[in-house]
């Protein structure tokens, strides 16, 4: 019964076209998880690792309620799996899911749409309670006959088995402006283990610099009943785009790179900044092909204010520095 209900819900997610349809289908998935899980998710098992903070089981479970994020990532994973199944019709598709959380939200709901012989997945999470929760859900939803290997491990250092060639890697361990959580450290580790044909979701993460008035920018505070699509969002009209700071994608980490600090060029700060006093960072996530999250469509694409120009004295230029060697964070350097 649960498997059939889950199939109906995930089909509604894939077929959704409007913002309201997306939100409604994601709410159904969230309710389905909440009603059928027997685990009480811990709020105290957050873990700091080299590269970021791994959310507690409770915090990871709450991510399903970031509705557009949930729906768009599920759509992206489904689209990627369909492509891989067409490209490799004679064998299983090997999936590595790094940071699956207690719900394995981006792969578990999709399983009923594929023959059990087509999906061979390794699911990683650093929290033992999340691994146990996923195992429990596979049993409850009658999905135990799918090839799901559950591994308790740190995804920033995990090394895949030699006989496991990754077709699709998934990691959504993201905070706005790529701060706090270990998305970049995980991406760097996993991407260096991919083959030329492998797909990675999200496909690209773009970070832009702009001068803006942060308080007037759209900002998603609460996903419940507040999710809006890009057509409904009204960016601050005096926002001044400065530059794309970097793009995280397969090419970015295509070869071994020990550096965990990304430094921008120096940018001239405006003399008159009354209409745009804040140095802000904007995130866009290309999940797969045409499936994207734009500014403020999700918590992970909320704008981030680094510094107000009112608080800077005797300046002329600014350089931005992103450091993900420990807890990912942004800083800046000024040139007089």
d(C-alpha 314, C-alpha 210), whole Å: 20
- At residue 336 the predicted structure's pLDDT band, cuts being 50, 70 and 90, is confident
Instruction: Read off the pTM.
Output: 0.96
Average pLDDT over residues 114-140: 96
Q: Do residues 213 and 235 lie in contact, with contact meaning Cβ atoms separated by under 8 Å?
A: no
Higher pLDDT, 230 or 202: 202
Residue 52 dihedral angles phi and psi, to the nearest 5°: 150, -175
d(C-alpha 83, C-alpha 89), whole Å: 10
- At residue 37 the predicted structure's pLDDT band, cuts being 50, 70 and 90, is confident
Residue carrying structure tokens 């090394």: 159
Selection from 270, 278, 332 nearest residue 308 by Cα: 278
Peptide bond into 21 cis (omega under 30): no
pLDDT, residue 254, reads 65
Is it the case that residue 191 has pLDDT exceeding 60? yes
* Strand 47-49 with 304-308, pairing: unpaired
Selection from 172, 188, 211, 198 nearest residue 293 by Cα: 172
pLDDT, residue 111, reads 98
Average pLDDT over residues 173-199: 97
- At residue 156 the predicted structure's pLDDT band, cuts being 50, 70 and 90, is very high
Task: Please report the sign of the dihedral spanned by the C-alpha atoms of residue 111, residue 116, residue 117, residue 120.
Answer: positive
Per-residue pLDDT tens digits for 306-330: 999 999 988 899 999 999 999 999 9
- Which of 25-34, 84-93, 111-120, 214-223 is the least confident region? 214-223
pLDDT, residue 223, reads 59
pLDDT, residue 39, reads 73
Per-residue pLDDT tens digits for 217-256: 999 986 555 678 888 888 899 999 999 999 999 988 866 5
pLDDT, residue 74, reads 98
Is it the case that residue 78 has pLDDT exceeding 90? yes
d(C-alpha 76, C-alpha 179), whole Å: 23
pLDDT, residue 314, reads 81
d(C-alpha 81, C-alpha 329), whole Å: 33
């Amino acid at each position: 019964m649960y498997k059939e209900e889950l199939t109906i819900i995930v089909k509604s997610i894939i077929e959704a076209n409007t913002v309201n349809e997306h939100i409604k289908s994601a709410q159904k998935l969230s309710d389905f998880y909440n009603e059928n899980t027997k685990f009480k998710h811990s709020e105290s098992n957050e873990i700091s690792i080299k590269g970021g903070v791994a959310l507690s089981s409770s915090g990871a479970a709450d991510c399903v309620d970031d509705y557009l994020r949930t729906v768009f990532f599920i759509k992206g994973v489904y689209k990627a799996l369909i492509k891989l199944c067409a490209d490799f019709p004679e064998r299983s598709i090997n999936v590595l899911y790094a940071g699956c959380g207690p719900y394995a939200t981006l792969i578990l709901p999709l399983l009923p749409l594929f023959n059990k012989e087509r999906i061979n997945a390794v699911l990683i999470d650093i929290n033992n309670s999340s691994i146990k929760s996923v195992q429990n859900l596979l049993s409850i939803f009658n999905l135990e006959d799918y090839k799901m290997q559950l591994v308790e491990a740190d995804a920033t250092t995990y090394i895949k088995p030699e006989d496991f060639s990754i077709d699709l890697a998934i990691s959504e361990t993201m905070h706005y402006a790529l701060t706090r959580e270990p998305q970049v450290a995980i991406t760097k580790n996993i991407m260096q283990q991919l083959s030329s044909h492998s797909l990675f979701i999200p496909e690209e993460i773009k970070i832009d610099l702009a001068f803006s008035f942060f308080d007037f920018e759209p900002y998603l505070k609460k996903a419940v009943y507040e999710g809006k699509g890009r057509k409904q969002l009204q960016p601050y009209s005096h926002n001044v785009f400065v530059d794309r700071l970097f793009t995280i994608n397969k090419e970015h980490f295509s070869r071994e790179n020990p550096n965990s600090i990304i430094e921008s060029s120096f940018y001239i700060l405006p003399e008159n900044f009354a209409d745009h006093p804040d140095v802000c960072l904007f995130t866009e996530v290309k999940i797969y092909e045409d499936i994207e999250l734009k500014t403020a469509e999700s918590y992970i694409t909320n704008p981030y204010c680094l510094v107000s120009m009112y608080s800077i004295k005797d300046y002329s230029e600014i350089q931005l520095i992103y450091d993900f060697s420990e807890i990912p964070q942004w800083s800046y350097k000024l040139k007089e």
